[in-house]
Amino acid sequence: MPEKILVIGGVAAGATGAAKARRTSEDVDITVVEKGKYISFANCGLPYYTGGVIKERSSVLLHTRQSFGKRFNTDVLTRTEAVDIDPKSKTVLLKTSKGEIERPYDKLLLAVGAKTFIPPIDGVEDVPYFTMRTVEDADGVKDFIQKHNPESALVIGAGFIGIEVAEAMLHCGIKPTVVEALDEVMPNFPHVVAMNLREKMLEDGCEVIVKTFVTKLEKNEDIIKAHLSDGRVLETDMVIMCTGVKPAVDLALNAGVELGERGGVAVNERMETNVTDIYAAGDLVEKVNLITGKKVLLPLAGPANREGRTAGTNMAGGDMTFKGVLGSAVVGFEGFVMAQTGLTYEQALQAGFDADYVYTEDVNRASYFPVHGHIFMMTVFDKKTGKLLGVSACGPDTTEKKIDHAAVALYAGLTVYDLEHLELCYAPPFASAKDNLNIAGFVASNELRGSGYLVKPEWILEQVRKNTGLQILDVRTAEEVDEYKIEGAKHIFVNDLREKMDMIDKSRPVYVYCAVGFRGYLAVRNLRNRGYEAYNITGGIEAYKRLVRL
């Protein structure tokens, strides 16, 4: 009798697990059970299908039940929900439209993913809202738009899906209002980076309300009223709940599968749970963060696929391990890109690292090439070892490319000293000869070697606001200074600094800035060489201005 492999959940981790199990062995029976109508569909494409960027519905259906079943010699049961697992008798109770059936297994893969977290909003049970997890969800939104021609949509939550759904609404000609309870959009990014996305969203006609939550929803005729925690009441034609997800662990718990401290299913490197012959993979499991060694939840497609691949191999008699995640992620909004990998500064401190960070900002292509833009980058590293811990960035296209550079570097355990030496592809239409991560490496390494003399713009802003009378020096051109400068800063253009150095009080520290930090660095080197106690504001006025606007 061939071994029976039963996979519960037929999307990213489940479909990959089943396919990999089949590739590993022809001598197993494989069944995939999926609650929804479709298997192996493109979750990540749903906001783009909703917004019309992806035109054809068939595009997001990667496989049919039949095509998947035939290719991987797999029994695929859609519209079938696993309601109970009995690990003793090794059976699963399945609910179908025709009633309940029992199905035996030798090896079981739990890949039921996550479910949208619905916050405890007053009235949420009585007011219709949409979510964005399944093809049916996207169908529902599109159908509603076609039938009701809504003018406005309330998007609750400003994470990945909230941002993508807001963009989709704009594409549908609907005015989106995004409400986020935490301090900033994309709250898992550093605020100084994420605020740029918020500004871009506002610029493009999207209303964004942060530090505010919806307390109550009510519906009158076709209008939905959303009461906000700040007392405001919004009227909207539709509500889309993008409030994040939590692991779908009910089935696991019933089967005696243990959870970890983050509330996801606990698995080992082979994707095995504590219950013999029950594996789990995808959004419902906790993953090891490769940098901290600690467990995290990270509901992203890349890890889900790799976990499914690992589980599938092992269930079919192979041997594979999944070591963990970095948290590489990207979100786009109307051409603006925000991406990160590894730890933010706060996460690094929490994990016990003696962490530091630098801000850099530079062109994504040769500055003399007509198509180019600036990428703002926050690079986090360990002060003692120089080890790279994480990078967050925002800017035009190719921002995610620069974060990918960092993701490979992080995976390999490189230091900021190594970043100086990365040899990336360069020609003017593609990059700059000194690429963004090289520059972050220069700046961070100089600081660690003791030749950077950086000071944080956060501290400067605090001092300026307290009016403590710092000696601040602006070394940009007169035209740049005219546009915006730090209140009370002296101005000497970097090229004139040698001649005019007497204007600076040598008995006091001097805090120097330019646009992004490079001319400031030159000036500080110059001043230090002449015996001044000079510091360079990391990230320059461009980082400072972001903090002012936060």
Q: List the interface residues with a copy of itself, window 358-417 (CB under 8 A).
A: 366, 368-370, 398, 400-401, 403-405, 407-409, 411-414
List of residues 6+ apart from 434 with CB closer than 8 A: 362, 442
Site for a copy of itself in 132-171 (CB under 8 A): 160, 164
Instruction: Please report, to the nearest 10 degrees, the dihedral formed by the alpha carbons of residues 455, 456, 459, 462 taken in order.
Output: 120
Nearest approach in angstroms of CB 360 to a copy of itself is 16
Nearest approach in angstroms of CB 316 to a copy of itself is 10
From 70-78, 118-126, 185-193, 205-213, span contacting a copy of itself (CB under 8 A): 70-78
- Tell me the DSSP string of 194-214: HHHHHHHHHHTT-EEE-S--E
Reduced to 3 states (helix: H, G, I; strand: E, B; else coil), residue 223 is strand
Find the binder of a copy of itself among 418, 458, 480, 533 (CB under 8 A): 418
CB-nearer residue toward a copy of itself: 236 or 398: 398
Nearest approach in angstroms of CB 22 to a copy of itself is 8
Do 199 and 222 contact (CB within 8 A), yes or no?
no
Alpha carbon of 72 to those of 76, 94, 313, 370: distances in Å?
10, 22, 14, 49
Nearest approach in angstroms of CB 466 to a copy of itself is 33
CB-nearer residue toward a copy of itself: 129 or 417: 417
Residue 71 has a CB neighbour count (10 Å cut-off) of: 11
Site for a copy of itself in 241-300 (CB under 8 A): 300
Site for a copy of itself in 195-224 (CB under 8 A): none
**Tokens coding 178:** 């995004």
**Tokens coding 441:** 């490496």
DSSP state of 476: S
* Residue window 519-548: x/- pattern of binding to a copy of itself, with contact defined by CB under 8 A: --xx--xx--xx------------------
From 105-113, 208-216, 234-242, 495-503, span contacting a copy of itself (CB under 8 A): 495-503
CB-nearer residue toward a copy of itself: 52 or 173: 52
Three-state secondary structure along 109-157?
Answer: EECCCEEECCCCCECCCCCCCECCCCHHHHHHHHHHHHHHCCCEEEEEC
C-alpha to C-alpha distance for 278 and 274, rounded to whole angstroms: 8
CB-nearer residue toward a copy of itself: 227 or 306: 306
Task: Characterize the bridge pairing of strands 75-77 and 374-382.
Answer: unpaired
Nearest approach in angstroms of CB 430 to a copy of itself is 5
List of residues 6+ apart from 59 with CB closer than 8 A: 42, 45, 49
Nearest approach in angstroms of CB 525 to a copy of itself is 5
CB-hemisphere CA count at 13 Å for 148?
A: 17
Do 24 and 310 contact (CB within 8 A), yes or no?
no
From 96-104, 169-177, 183-191, 329-337, span contacting a copy of itself (CB under 8 A): 329-337
Residue 80 has a CB neighbour count (10 Å cut-off) of: 22
Nearest approach in angstroms of CB 436 to a copy of itself is 11
Nearest approach in angstroms of CB 451 to a copy of itself is 8
Asked if 494 is part of the footprint of a copy of itself (rule: CB under 8 A), the reply reads yes
Reduced to 3 states (helix: H, G, I; strand: E, B; else coil), residue 350 is helix
CB-hemisphere CA count at 13 Å for 303?
A: 27
CB-nearer residue toward a copy of itself: 48 or 279: 48
CB-nearer residue toward a copy of itself: 80 or 536: 536
Nearest approach in angstroms of CB 23 to a copy of itself is 5
* Residue window 19-58: x/- pattern of binding to a copy of itself, with contact defined by CB under 8 A: ---xxxxxx--------------x-xx--x----xxx---
Residue 379 has a CB neighbour count (10 Å cut-off) of: 28
From 64-72, 77-85, 134-142, 207-215, span contacting a copy of itself (CB under 8 A): 64-72
CB-nearer residue toward a copy of itself: 149 or 495: 495
* Residue window 86-125: x/- pattern of binding to a copy of itself, with contact defined by CB under 8 A: ----------------------------------------
**Tokens coding 540:** 């320059």
